Amino acid sequence: MGNFSEFDLKMTRRALELAALGVGQVSPNPLVGCVIVDKNGQIVGEGTYIYDNVVHAEVIALEQAGEKARGGTAYISLEPHAHTGRTPPCTDALIKAGIKRVVCPIEDPNPLVSGRGFKVLREHQIEVVTGILAEEAHKLNEKFFVWHRKKRPFVHLKMALSLDGRISLNRTVSTTLSSQISLKRVHELRHEHDAILVGSNTVITDNPLLTDRSGRPRRRPLVRIVLDNRLRIPLNSRIVETAKDFPTIVFSNSEYEEKIKLLAEKKVKVLQQDARNLHKVLKTLYSLQIQSVLVEGGAKIAGAFVDSRLIDKVSFIYSPLIVGRSTAPVAVEGRGADSLETAFRLKNIDVKKLGEDVEITGYPTE
């Protein structure tokens, strides 16, 4: 932490905004935005990192600024790297451009980068100011942080519920509880993630498509994942019928070779491992470079994730209706807690209205 002004705060916020423009287009790398301000306090360059463009946000902004960068300040959403990866070190570019001050909220969690970028800059007499909007910067790259720190994808559990906590009218009927505004929000959530995951019953009952229909560009198609040990996924389901267009993975320990062959013909990839072992499922997804997974249910899958504590974020979208039917499935059907102390508790709660619906988001306390 160093000295910073209102202007620093404003420019750092702008760097975060620029970084956010890359949502859907950077994974498995982080979101990065950069603003270059000249000696007179004028913005002379701005950059957003997009994976397929290869060039980093700092370099884009510095190129725009040209000679005006000399003696100026770089506002960057995440620590610049000091190693050679797909591109030369960004720290070199900042030093060469004559930047005198770098304002950057947080260190990069990637062990190749962490702390080293700031160290190199300081060794070159560049003032480095950290800590401004650190929480916001961390949240922006929360998937990237979990991916590096836990060596598994970020897991976000999302469910749509009635006010009495039901997720459908009954287990065998597809029920859309959410409003159009909420459904739009769901596609935004899908857009943020690399994969979407459901249980076999959800495929059988709802016959969902599970695609990203946000209309926004994404670098890699959303990977659809079904946990299905008995391999009950219907061959004529929409997921299977569209697997040639959208990557689809089924985790199953079934040895039903004939069905595996038929699914393979439809381009569904069956990974023969126990779908009940969620640690191993996530390990496999990590090895496939999947940085984040949106878990969309149903109740048993939500229960399994809650029981295993393999959840990094929760979003429940409530619609203003009461199903009031005792046989209607509740949102989470796992072993659950036997005391309030062992209940899965959330913190940093955010409440957002989506038309008449309400989205509640939180993070596990442990």
Ligand X SMILES: NC(=O)c1ccc[n+]([C@@H]2O[C@H](COP(=O)([O-])OP(=O)(O)OC[C@H]3O[C@@H](n4cnc5c(N)ncnc54)[C@H](OP(=O)(O)O)[C@@H]3O)[C@@H](O)[C@H]2O)c1
Binding residue for ligand X, selected from 24, 30, 117, 297, defined by CB under 6 A: 297
Q: Are 131 and 3 in contact (CB under 8 A)?
A: no
Ramachandran category for residue 122: left, alpha or beta (phi over 0 → left; psi -120 to 50 → alpha): alpha
Token pair, residue 361, equals 């988001």
Q: Going by C-beta distance under 8 Å and a sequence separation of 6 or more, which residues neighbour residue 145?
A: 109, 138
28 belongs to the binding site for ligand X (CB under 6 A): no
207 belongs to the binding site for ligand X (CB under 6 A): no
SS (H, E, C) the chain: CCCCCHHHHHHHHHHHHHHHCCCCCCCCCCCCEEEEECCCCCEEEEEECCHHHCCCHHHHHHHHHHHHHCCCEEEECCCCCCCCCCCCCHHHHHHHCCCCEEECCCCCCCCCCCCHHHHHHHHCCCEEECCCCHHHHHHHCHHHHHHHHCCCCEEEEEEEEECCCECCCCCCCCCCCCCHHHHHHHHHHHHHCCEEEEEHHHHHHHCCCCCCCCCCCCCCCCEEEEECCCCCCCCCCHHHHCCCCCCEEEECCCCCHHHHHHHHHCCEEEECCCCCCHHHHHHHHHHCCCCEEEECCCHHHHHHHHHHCCCCEEEEEEECCCCCCCCCCECCCCCCCCCHHHCCCEEEEEEEEECCEEEEEEEECC
CB of 215 to ligand X, least distance (A): 22
CB of 230 to ligand X, least distance (A): 3
Q: Are 51 and 219 in contact (CB under 8 A)?
A: yes
Q: How many residues bind ligand X (CB under 6 A)?
A: 32
C-beta of 23 vs 177, nearer to ligand X: 177
CB of 362 to ligand X, least distance (A): 16
Q: Which stretch binds ligand X (CB under 6 A): 4-12, 18-26, 290-298, 343-351?
A: 290-298
CB of 206 to ligand X, least distance (A): 5
CB of 231 to ligand X, least distance (A): 8
Q: Which stretch binds ligand X (CB under 6 A): 3-11, 70-78, 82-90, 292-300?
A: 292-300
Q: Identify whether 107 is a catalytic site residue.
A: no
Binding residue for ligand X, selected from 96, 276, 335, 352, defined by CB under 6 A: 276
C-beta of 91 vs 252, nearer to ligand X: 252
Q: Which stretch binds ligand X (CB under 6 A): 52-60, 63-71, 136-144, 194-202?
A: 194-202
227 belongs to the binding site for ligand X (CB under 6 A): yes
Binding residue for ligand X, selected from 126, 137, 177, 223, defined by CB under 6 A: 177
Site string for ligand X, 313-332 (x = CB under 6 A): ----------------x---
Site string for ligand X, 228-267 (x = CB under 6 A): xxx-x-----------------------------------
Q: Are 72 and 38 in contact (CB under 8 A)?
A: yes
Site string for ligand X, 136-175 (x = CB under 6 A): -----------------------xx------xx--x--xx
Binding residue for ligand X, selected from 29, 205, 291, 361, defined by CB under 6 A: 205
CB of 336 to ligand X, least distance (A): 13
Binding residue for ligand X, selected from 35, 62, 299, 306, defined by CB under 6 A: 299
201 belongs to the binding site for ligand X (CB under 6 A): yes
Binding residue for ligand X, selected from 300, 306, 312, 313, defined by CB under 6 A: 300
For residues 149 and 60, give the distance between their C-alpha atoms in angstroms, rounded to a whole number: 28
Q: Which residue among 6, 46, 58, 258 is the active-site one? A: 58
Q: Which residues are catalytic?
A: 58
Residue ranges in contact with ligand X by CB under 6 A: 159-160, 167-168, 171, 174-175, 177, 198-202, 205-206, 227-230, 232, 275-276, 278, 296-301, 304, 329, 333
